[in-house]
């Protein structure tokens, strides 16, 4: 038996504080009712009790460098404008004109000094204050007294990311993120820029997306092509508030991969990314992960990057943080991946998967984005050009690369099972401990009036 | 003049035969049901729990899974089942759902395998549904696996070469339920037939709109006027307890409404030719052609040893159509049977999937073949050696099921729209629609049998 995945030797002899395991949290062995994936009542309660009260990852701060820069953030039935104000702080407003309810902006992002409603040209400042009611003299004053400003929501920044909350009484963002904040800070996301941004509609509940991205147990079955280079022997830490992290070791073979010693083509590519010539490498696949870490540390020293706060595991692995309720951040020294699982406005059996790659540009020889990140030669990695959001609809192949396309094929057939009277609820192993932890937190929020 | 029973429609032109005898009438009254049954999501949800989850459902023909390990999937409403022949030769049915996280186990229509492997985390199950491998079992707390990690199975029984499943563990045996019509269906020896055509088509109507349209021939003159020259709408209808029914649809003679009752028209000529009669030398009128077809088929049976003495004359010429509650009709002919299934949509009461399957009795003899009106093309392998693929057309696509069925698929959404109108108070069923009233009466009984 191995109920405690922390006993897997992911951090061979490391004494780095980042790698230290968190105190265990016991979430039990129960089997939840699968209605949570299909029921409209659960879906509506989730919106009111979870999404309307939590901090939601809205945008990277680097998308809003200057006053007037704004990003539209859509989630569930809502749309928000997240905007940089004149004083340099960020604000967020419902993307809804108080006059008749029209959306104010319809693009994904932009920059402007004020917002003008497309319906009757009412105008609002960046802070949401009404600047102009068209033909104000044709309104009874008592009508305008109901309020003519935009409705704003809480909006705060941390680790280079902008979050918002519809709950005016939400705790400060830094308190909400406290268990993982110092760890996320090591990646300096504030110095990164978006180099790829994709959105795709999937035929499953948003929690089906969370579940699939929160465990590496399925790699051998759904993504067998990764078995040579991504290990499923993992290290999972659970933190209060539904937060979690998981190390996914890279540059060494999976436990289910037959050849544990040969330097396969996948590992060779990861070595080359780190500046190692695999042909001259004398070790086996049991040594390649450590070699990649050392090579990256040497390269950092050479080009003046401070990697001293990173553990070796952080240099090689994907270190993934679960941010309750619906975000996951995959961290690497060179780049982070923001994954968001956004509920559909009305249908519990659909969600939008949104993935953003933020890259730390360093103009130095031998430094670049690892090849597996799949950034094409046409991508401007300097951050000078913000790429467009590419959105694929339901049923369209998302074209997100082989691994994500495999997930998008799978999720609808898992969703279908949730509707079956032959399915009594998921049986989560300890490799799926982050799922159980997430659902336990969700249940706590749903239980609050 | 009232015509509330069909005694004076003497549709049986051949020799008297016990098969043709009418059964004791069942009076289902004259009520007008609330049309909400056709579009109300609450009605649909209750129908699933009280009717579909407690009935025997036709899953497929046994000839589709002859060998151990052969399986097919049966999708209906929100569910998918995998029907498999086990190593002992018995047929079993499991929810097509992995107990770990709920993934579908198989996604193809058919196949053959020695065990099931879930695509998500490669848990493995034997053909009987027992778990044989939990991947990395040591990373599960025993209390988690104690919830149960085998597949969930459902009742599965065979009769007349057809496999039925039921989600109700306590349901009466299949043969008990089918008893009133079982000896009749057995005459067709469906177990010796093979699928030669299988089509599936999504239609914009409630599944009961499909049942209704296929359970009466009153609409032939209006929706399918091209059939009037060779299909009669004078009929015989028999009703049995449990929502079962049958109806004779006389072939090879014109409908009463058809203007020319004499001429052997090209449609009837085709049916004569199918039976081995040369229409050029046929001297009778259209009033004699049905009997001629019956006699010719009987003579052919004698020559080829087909044992048609078990069939009445009407069975040789006509379509004898059975309704199996809730959602199946079987159109029977000595050469072939048609399985029609009306499969409710997973969530939308305004959609269903029509599934139609032709099973053919192959006889390798000169002069024997499928009647031409069945529309089996020259490219169809009639021997049963090749199981044809299922052709599935989606909502809005022309189903390409042949002229008659395409006409039905165009009509049904128009009828469905009416059921949603506040100007429509409910259907007014005549005695020609006796099978519809009988079906809905049974549905109401089952809906009334609490949760």
pLDDT at A310: 96
* Interface contact A420-B80, CB threshold 8 A: yes
Picking from A3, A410, A424, the nearest residue to B141 by CB comes out as A3
Q: Which residues of A touch B79 (CB under 8 A)?
A: 419-422
pLDDT above 70 covers a percentage of chain B that reads 99
Residue of A nearest to B102 (CA): A417
Residue B369, chain A, CB below 8 Å: the answer is no
Closest Cα in chain A, distance from residue B91 (Å): 18
Instruction: Print the SS3 string covering B14-44.
Output: CCCCHHHCCCCCCCCCCCCCCHHHHCCHHHH
Q: Inter-chain contact B99–A424, Cβ cutoff 8 Å?
A: yes
Pairwise CB contact (< 8 Å): A31 & B144: yes
Sign of the four-CA dihedral A308, A310, A313, A317? negative
Strands (E), A46-141: 56-60, 69-75, 78-84, 90-94, 109-111, 114-116, 123-125, 130-132
B147 contacts in A (CB within 8 Å)?
A: 31, 424-425, 427
Q: Considering CB atoms only, which of B94, B97, B121 is closest to A218?
A: B121
| A26 CB within 8 Å of a chain B CB | no
**Residue in B135, B141, B152 closest to A422 by CB:** B152
Question: Per the CB < 8 Å rule, is B140 touching A427?
Answer: yes
A420 to chain B: nearest residue by CA? Answer: B79
- For residue A8, the chain B residue with the least C-alpha distance is B139
CB contact under 8 A, B144 and A431: no
The CA distance from A413 to the nearest CA of chain B, in Å, is 5
Q: Is A98 on the interface with B (CB under 8 A)?
A: no
Which ipTM was obtained for this model?
0.90
Closest residue to A1, CB basis, from B103, B138, B154:
B138
Question: With 70 as the cut, is the pLDDT of residue A3 above it?
Answer: no
Mean pLDDT confidence for B401-427: 90
pLDDT for the residue numbered A5? 61
pLDDT confidence bin for A9, thresholds 50/70/90: confident
- Rounded to an integer, the average pLDDT of B367-390 is 91
Cross-strand partners of A319: A247, A331
Tell me the pairing of strands B194-203 and B391-393: parallel
- Angle at CA B247, nearest 5°, toward B242 and B249? 165
Tell me what pLDDT residue A420 has: 96
pLDDT at A396: 87
Which of A325-339, B131-145, B406-420 is the least confident region? B406-420
Contact check, Cβ <8 Å, A220/B122: yes
**Inter-chain CB proximity A222 and B119 less than 8 Å:** yes
Q: Do B80 and A421 touch (CB under 8 A)?
A: no
Question: Is B100 within 8 Å of A420 when comparing Cβ atoms?
Answer: no
Q: What's the confidence (pLDDT) of residue A36?
A: 98
Give A425's contacts in chain B (Cβ within 8 Å): 147
pLDDT for res A365: 86
Compute the nearest-CA separation of B48 from chain A (Å).
11
Whether A34 contacts chain B with CB within 8 A: yes
3-state secondary structure of A55: coil
Predicted confidence (pLDDT) per residue in B38-68, tens digit: 999 999 999 999 999 999 999 999 999 999 9
CA proximity to A285, closest of A249, A317, A251: A251
Q: Which long-range contacts (CB under 8 A, 24 or more apart) does A6-14 make?
A: A6/A235, A6/A236, A6/A237, A8/A233, A8/A234, A8/A235, A9/A233, A10/A233, A10/A234, A10/A235, A10/A247, A10/A249, A10/A313, A10/A317, A11/A235, A11/A247, A11/A311, A11/A312, A11/A313, A12/A290, A14/A311, A14/A312, A14/A313
Task: Report the C-alpha gap between A136 and A130 in whole angstroms.
Answer: 12
Give the pLDDT of residue A14.
Answer: 87
Say yes or no for a CB contact (<8 Å) between B145 and A413.
Answer: no
Highest mean pLDDT among A12-16, B57-61, B373-377: B57-61
Give the lowest-confidence range in A113-117, B6-10, B216-220, B286-290: B6-10
Chain position carrying tokens 């780190």: A274
């Amino acid at each position: 038996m191995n109920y405690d995945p922390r006993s897997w030797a992911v951090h061979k002899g490391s004494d780095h504080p980042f790698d230290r395991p968190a105190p265990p949290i016991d979430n039990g062995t129960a089997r939840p009712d699968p209605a949570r994936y299909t029921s409209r009542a659960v879906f509506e309660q989730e919106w009111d009790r979870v999404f309307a009260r939590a901090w939601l990852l809205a945008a990277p701060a680097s998308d809003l460098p200057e006053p007037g820069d704004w990003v539209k953030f859509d989630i569930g039935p809502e749309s928000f404008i997240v905007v940089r104000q004149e004083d340099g702080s960020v604000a967020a407003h419902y993307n809804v004109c108080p006059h008749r309810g029209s959306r104010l902006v319809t693009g994904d992002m932009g920059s402007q000094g004020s917002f003008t409603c497309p319906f009757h040209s009412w105008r609002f400042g960046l802070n949401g204050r009404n600047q102009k009611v068209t033909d104000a003299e044709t309104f009874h004053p008592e009508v305008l007294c109901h309020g003519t400003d935009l409705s704003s929501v809480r909006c705060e920044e941390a680790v280079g990311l902008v979050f918002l909350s519809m709950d005016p009484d939400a705790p400060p963002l830094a308190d909400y993120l406290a268990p993982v904040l110092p760890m996320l800070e090591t990646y300096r996301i504030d110095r990164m820029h978006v180099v790829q941004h994709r959105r795709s509609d999937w035929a499953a509940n948003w929690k089906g997306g969370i579940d699939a991205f929160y465990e590496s147990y399925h790699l051998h079955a759904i993504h067998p092509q990764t078995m040579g280079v991504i290990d499923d022997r993992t290290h999972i830490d659970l933190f209060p508030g539904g937060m979690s992290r998981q190390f996914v070791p890279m540059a060494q073979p999976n436990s289910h991969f037959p050849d544990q010693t040969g330097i396969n083509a996948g590992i060779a590519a990861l070595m080359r990314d780190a500046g190692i010539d695999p042909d001259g490498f004398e070790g086996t696949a049991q040594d390649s992960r450590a070699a990649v870490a050392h090579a990256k540390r040497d390269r950092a020293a050479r080009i003046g990057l401070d990697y001293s706060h990173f553990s070796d595991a952080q240099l090689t692995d994907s270190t993934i943080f679960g941010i309750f309720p619906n975000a996951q951040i995959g961290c690497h020294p060179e780049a982070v991946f923001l994954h968001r699982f956004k509920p559909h406005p009305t249908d519990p059996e659909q969600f939008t998967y949104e993935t953003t790659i933020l890259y730390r540009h360093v103009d130095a020889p031998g430094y670049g984005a690892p090849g597996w990140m799949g950034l094409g030669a046409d991508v401007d990695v300097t951050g000078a050009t913000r790429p467009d959001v590419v959105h694929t609809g339901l049923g369209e192949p998302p074209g997100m690369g082989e691994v994500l396309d495999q997930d998008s094929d799978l999720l609808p057939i898992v969703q279908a099972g949730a509707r079956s009277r032959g399915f009594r609820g998921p049986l989560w192993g300890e490799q799926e401990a982050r799922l159980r932890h997430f659902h336990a937190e969700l249940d706590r929020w749903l239980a609050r009036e | 003049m009232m015509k509330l029973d069909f005694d004076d429609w003497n549709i049986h032109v051949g020799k008297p035969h016990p098969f043709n005898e009418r059964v004791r009438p069942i009076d289902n009254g004259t009520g007008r049901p609330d049309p909400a049954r056709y579009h109300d999501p609450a009605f649909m949800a209750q129908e699933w729990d009280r009717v579909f989850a407690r009935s025997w459902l036709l899953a497929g023909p046994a000839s589709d899974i002859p060998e151990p390990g052969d399986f097919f999937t049966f999708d209906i409403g929100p569910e998918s089942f995998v029907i498999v022949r086990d190593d002992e030769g018995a047929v079993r049915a499991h929810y097509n759902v992995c107990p770990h996280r709920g993934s579908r186990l198989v996604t193809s229509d058919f196949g053959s395998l020695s065990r099931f492997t879930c695509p998500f985390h490669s848990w493995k199950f034997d053909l009987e549904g027992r778990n044989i491998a939990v991947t990395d079992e040591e990373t599960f707390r025993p209390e988690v696996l104690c919830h149960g990690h085998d597949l969930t199975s459902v009742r599965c029984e065979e009769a007349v070469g057809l496999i039925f499943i039921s989600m109700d563990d306590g349901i009466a045996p299949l043969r008990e339920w089918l008893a009133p019509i079982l000896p009749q269906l057995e005459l067709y020896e469906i177990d010796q037939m093979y699928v030669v055509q299988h089509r599936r088509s999504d239609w914009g109507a409630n599944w009961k709109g499909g049942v209704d349209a296929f359970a009466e021939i009153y609409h032939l003159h209006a929706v399918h006027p091209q059939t009037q020259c060779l299909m009669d709408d004078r009929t015989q209808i028999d009703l049995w307890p449990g929502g079962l029914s049958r109806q004779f649809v006389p072939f090879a003679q014109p409908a009463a409404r058809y203007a020319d009752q004499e001429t052997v028209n090209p449609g009837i000529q085709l049916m004569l030719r199918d039976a081995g009669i040369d229409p050029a030398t046929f001297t009778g009128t259209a009033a004699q052609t049905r009997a001629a077809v019956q006699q010719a088929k009987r003579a052919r049976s004698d020559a080829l040893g087909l044992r048609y003495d078990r069939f009445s004359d009407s069975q040789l010429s006509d379509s004898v159509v059975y309704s199996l509650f809730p959602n199946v009709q079987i159109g029977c002919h000595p050469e072939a049977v048609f399985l029609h299934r009306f499969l409710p949509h997973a969530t939308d009461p305004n959609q269903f999937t029509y599934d139609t399957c032709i099973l053919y009795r192959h006889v390798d003899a000169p002069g024997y073949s499928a009647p031409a009106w069945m529309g089996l093309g020259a490219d169809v392998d009639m021997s049963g050696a090749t199981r044809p693929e299922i052709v599935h057309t989606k909502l809005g696509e022309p189903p390409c099921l042949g002229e008659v069925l395409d006409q039905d698929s165009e009509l049904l959404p128009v009828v469905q729209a009416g059921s949603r109108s506040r100007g429509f108070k409910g259907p007014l069923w005549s005695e020609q629609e006796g099978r519809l009233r009988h079906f809905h009466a049974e549905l109401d009984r089952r809906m009334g049998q609490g949760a």
